[in-house]
Chains A and B, each alone.
Chain A
Amino acid sequence: MRSAEITAEPAEARQLSLSFLRPSRSAMIGTLAVLAFLVLWQIAPTMGWVNGRFTSRPTEVLLAAIDIFQNDDFLYHARISLTEFVAGFALAIVVSVPLGVLLGTSKIARHLIDPPLMALYIAPTLVLLPIMVIWLGIDMAPKIAVVFLGAVFPIVLNTMAGMSEADPKFLRMARSFGATKFDIFTRVLVPGSLPALLTGLRLAVGRAVLGVIVGELFVSQAGIGYQLNLYGSAMRIDRLLVYALIVSAFGYTLTVIVRSVENKVRDWRSK
């Protein structure tokens, strides 16, 4: 987009252009679409097109958000959910990275564990939630377990792929300089598989967020999912939407951060 503009314009024009003040076309269309949607949403119940009781209104959602941040013990619930997320995710990293490295470097281990691992990755780990509740109770523990189970497989599988798919050219080059197995591991395999590891982390974020929320929806005494459940049964669409937005914003932000790191690391691969 930008490069096309630059090549299309003569040099002098480029120097004088204030293109940074002019938002790009796609951004403008996107903003307009969102605005149009918000206006439609606001007036639809008033015009009688939909029942406002089921759809709420943007203004109501905004007021509900303000109220939630002021009076709803929001921080308390957020802290519970965040703790579950961080604990489960950290545990997943601690287990999956070494496991992925082991599987990526040992063919035998890979042949042994790959099929069941794949099966577990594809199966929705949320089906284990009832068992986790029976084993671990209704506090944070079963949610941490579900987050762990959701996050662990994408990280293991991607780390493994990154390790085992190292370019044979690089291995041969390293060997020609007398690299030991350890040298090859630290200087070729690890840096080479970093982008794959980050891909695993990114995919794990979504599954982990899902684990927290569904775990809390299923059975809990506190947390964002608990609040969602509460306002769902009370038919408070406005508050329900505020919490839903918070959850998506959290997952989205985290994914974007990981992706930007991933792209930076992967930069050398592009082109």
Chain B
Amino acid sequence: MAQIEIRDLGIDYRKPKSNEVFSAVDSVDLSVEKGEFVTIVGSSGCGKSTLLMAVAGLVDLTRGSIEIDGKRVDGPGPDRAVVFQEASLLPWRSVRGNVKFGLEMQRWSGGDLNERAMQMIRLVGLGRFSDYHPHQLSGGMRQRVNIARALAVDPEVLLMDEPFGALDAQTREIMGTELLRIWERAKKTALFVTHDIDEAIFLADKIVVMGRNPGHIKEVIKVDLPRPRNESILDSDAFHELRKRLRAHLAEDMSSMQLVQEVA
């Protein structure tokens, strides 16, 4: 059986100040194998982040179910850790203090705690910066801390919500390669939300393409590019082929969006 099983998932929101119900995600079925790197791509408003937050246990399900290793998700758990879009680092804690946060929640203490945190900080390449505070770090470094904090608790599944969305293109590319290096060593199942097509292909074993109104899965694409990967695959024919396919999907979404705007 797959590690993550999502069956007929639906998530509705009630719009604030009205009784209108808005369906963010509907009829989503998805299986993710252990150790698989899955990227979820789609234009904004397609419910990709909502789907991820549901797996994290931070959003209530309206219909269907999510199981991880056969256990139903009904809240956050130590088997999952989230890397948020905004680094969400506690500004009064140092890099080390922030990486410790999740471990503290799992009641680690003393020397083990410290050692584990430092190990993760070194893994993401910030060994020299463990005593810095978030405001002293660049955006890319903050996201490294964000990733270290999630990896520290040794989750089965790593959930990433556009972690590089706010970074400039070059940093983003470096971080992508770096993430693959870390992932290949940590061997975690990964769900990675992005709206960047190249990023989605570069990282993935499997790409989940989502569409809007309500958020649903349009296609699941297997990516057979060899690993370990580096920037050179960006120019391969297979990569171009995948990029074309994804572009077509997103263009479809865009035109339907424009239509809605014209009607309105």
A binding-site residues for B, Cβ under 8 Å: 169-170, 172-179, 183, 187-188, 191-192, 194, 265, 267-271
Chain B binding surface SS class: loop
Query: Is B76 in contact with A175, judged by CB distance below 8 angstroms?
Result: yes
Given contacts A178-B105, A268-B134, A270-B135, contact A173 B91 (CB under 8 A): no
| Bound complex: CA A175 to CA B76 (Å) | 7
Name the distance in Å between A163's Cβ and chain B's nearest Cβ. Answer: 15
Name the distance in Å between B85's Cβ and chain A's nearest Cβ. Answer: 9
Residue B56 is within 8 A (CB to CB) of chain A in the complex: yes
Name the distance in Å between A175's Cβ and chain B's nearest Cβ. Answer: 6
Name B135's contact: one of A173, A176, A192, A271 (CB within 8 Å): A271
Given contacts A176-B76, A187-B101, A268-B134, contact A169 B84 (CB under 8 A): yes
Name A176's contact: one of B56, B90, B91, B134 (CB within 8 Å): B56
Query: Is B84 in contact with A188, judged by CB distance below 8 angstroms?
Result: no
Name B105's contact: one of A170, A183, A271 (CB within 8 Å): A183
Residues 100-136 of B contacting A (Cβ, < 8 Å): 101-102, 104-106, 133-135
Please give, as numbers and ranges, the residues of chain B lying within 8 Å of A265 by CB-CB distance: 92
What are 15 sample pairs from A and B whose C-beta atoms fall under 8 A apart?
A170-B90, A173-B84, A175-B76, A176-B57, A176-B58, A176-B76, A176-B81, A177-B81, A177-B102, A178-B78, A183-B104, A187-B90, A187-B101, A267-B133, A271-B135
Name the distance in Å between A233's Cβ and chain B's nearest Cβ. Answer: 52
Name the distance in Å between B102's Cβ and chain A's nearest Cβ. Answer: 4
Residue B36 is within 8 A (CB to CB) of chain A in the complex: no
Chain A binding surface SS class: helix
Query: Is A268 in contact with B106, judged by CB distance below 8 angstroms?
Result: no
Name A175's contact: one of B58, B81, B86, B104 (CB within 8 Å): B58
Name the distance in Å between A266's Cβ and chain B's nearest Cβ. Answer: 10
Which residue on B lies nearest to A167, using beta carbons? B88
Query: Is A187 in contact with B104, judged by CB distance below 8 angstroms?
Result: yes
| Number of residues of chain B lying within 8 A (CB) of chain A | 24
Residue B228 is within 8 A (CB to CB) of chain A in the complex: no
Which residue on B lies nearest to A172, using beta carbons? B58
Please give, as numbers and ranges, the residues of chain A lying within 8 Å of B92 by CB-CB distance: 191-192, 194, 265, 268
Please give, as numbers and ranges, the residues of chain B lying within 8 Å of A172 by CB-CB distance: 58, 84, 88
Query: Is A177 in contact with B84, judged by CB distance below 8 angstroms?
Result: no
Please give, as numbers and ranges, the residues of chain B lying within 8 Å of A187 by CB-CB distance: 90, 101, 104
| Bound complex: CA A154 to CA B102 (Å) | 35
Query: Is B153 in contact with A177, judged by CB distance below 8 angstroms?
Result: yes
| Bound complex: CA A192 to CA B89 (Å) | 12
| Bound complex: CA A99 to CA B234 (Å) | 59
Given contacts A191-B90, A191-B92, A268-B91, contact A178 B77 (CB under 8 A): yes
Please give, as numbers and ranges, the residues of chain B lying within 8 Å of A191 by CB-CB distance: 90, 92
| Bound complex: CA A265 to CA B134 (Å) | 14
Please give, as numbers and ranges, the residues of chain B lying within 8 Å of A270 by CB-CB distance: 135
| Bound complex: CA A174 to CA B104 (Å) | 11
Please give, as numbers and ranges, the residues of chain A lying within 8 Å of B90 by CB-CB distance: 170, 187-188, 191-192
Which residue on B lies nearest to A173, using beta carbons? B88
Please give, as numbers and ranges, the residues of chain A lying within 8 Å of B133 by CB-CB distance: 267-268
| Bound complex: CA A172 to CA B58 (Å) | 8
Given contacts A172-B84, A176-B81, A177-B101, contact A268 B135 (CB under 8 A): yes
| Bound complex: CA A170 to CA B81 (Å) | 14
Name the distance in Å between B139's Cβ and chain A's nearest Cβ. Answer: 13
Name the distance in Å between A268's Cβ and chain B's nearest Cβ. Answer: 4
Name the distance in Å between A270's Cβ and chain B's nearest Cβ. Answer: 7
Please give, as numbers and ranges, the residues of chain B lying within 8 Å of A269 by CB-CB distance: 91, 135
